[in-house]
Amino acid sequence: MSFLASVASTFTDVLLPILLLVALGALVQRSHPLDIGTLSKLQIYLFVPTFLFVRVSESSLTWEQIAGVAGAVLAAKALLGVPLWALLRRRRVGPSTLSVFVLSAVVFNAGNFGIPLAERAFGKPGGAVQALIVMMSNLTLWVIGYPLMAALAGQGRGALAGYLRLPTLYVVFAAFAVRGSGLSLPDPLAYTLHLVADGLVPLALVTLGAQLAQNARWPRWRVVTPLLVAKLLILPALMAGVVFGFGLWPWPGAMLITAAAAPTAINTLLMTLEQKGDAELAADCVFWTTLFSALTVTLVLALVKALGGGP
């Protein structure tokens, strides 16, 4: 099969089902507005933690690979975020635009978009790696990213405390404990957890579509275009370098590179709204990176698979 045929097949088999569910969510939002706050809370407090617990506790990744995933996520973000911050400061970009730009460039959508992408592209092994990426992405967003936004409104302590009240971090630690001990959960509990975990993908994509439907507008291309290049092209390239440097190829490196090509996380918009920052720019970054990622994720995933990446 030629590479172009592989690209077309990847889009049809992997990206198109995801985009169709996103589109359905947007259509429902336009005709019958959904309570996005409730949908988001269902994900944050029930579906995502359950998914993380199931995939991490049942993962076949070695402890060395788990450490490699965490280190690779941090390294790729630092390699892009630090130079971007320095460059924008040197050009005297305002703090509101600077913070939104840097966060939008380095924080990829590990949940709403990334989890369905991982499972569709690589099955449950992809979901297991993505679960770790979700944890690291959320942790760095609030522990490192929030202080950037604190320059605008200075409420960092409250935000960090709020993050520590979320179940994500503790659930992953519990999953590590179950995995390390080799315990088997009672069948009724295991069945319930799997049922909830399997429901995350449609809920996440419908919610993403509903969120995007609220933020569709013509953006400030002068700002958004460089962001698209940094987020959708440069970050995956940097992640590829980190993956090979850390010896994580072909697995879990293939998933890390694919995840890095995902769009900007909706959490950057929520954080910006809380800090009264440039919410319009944040919304534009989320919307347009999601739109263009249909092309870039397809290309990255096809290239990764052509080079033999996968579990």
Residue pLDDT, tens place only, 189-233: 999 999 999 999 899 899 889 988 987 778 889 999 999 999 999
Residue type for 289, please? T
CA of 189: how far to CAs of 185, 192, 194, 199, 201, in Å?
Answer: 7, 5, 9, 16, 20
Catalogue all structural domains in the chain, each as residue range(s) with its CATH number.
3-306 (1.20.1530)
Burial class (CB in 10 A: 0-12, 13-18, 19+), 24: middle
User: Mean pLDDT in runs of 10 for the chain (311 residues)?
Assistant: 87 94 94 88 88 90 92 96 92 84 89 92 94 85 68 52 74 89 91 94 90 83 94 97 97 97 85 74 91 94 95 91
Tell me if 179 sits within 8 A of 56, measured CB to CB.
Answer: yes
Per-residue burial over 151-180, b = 16 or more CB atoms within 10 Å of its CB, e = otherwise: ebeeebeebeeebeeebbbebbebbbeebe
Tell me if 137 sits within 8 A of 73, measured CB to CB.
Answer: yes
Q: Is the pTM of this model over 0.85?
A: yes
Residue pLDDT, tens place only, 149-199: 665 444 545 555 666 777 887 888 899 999 888 888 999 999 999 999 999
Tell me if 126 sits within 8 A of 54, measured CB to CB.
Answer: no
Given this model, what pLDDT does residue 40 score?
81
Beta bridge partners of 264: 108
- CA 134 to chain CA centroid, Å, is 6
**Helix residue ranges per DSSP H, the chain:** 3-10, 16-31, 36-42, 48-57, 63-90, 95-106, 114-140, 146-153, 156-164, 168-181, 187-198, 200-214, 221-229, 235-246, 253-260, 266-274, 279-306
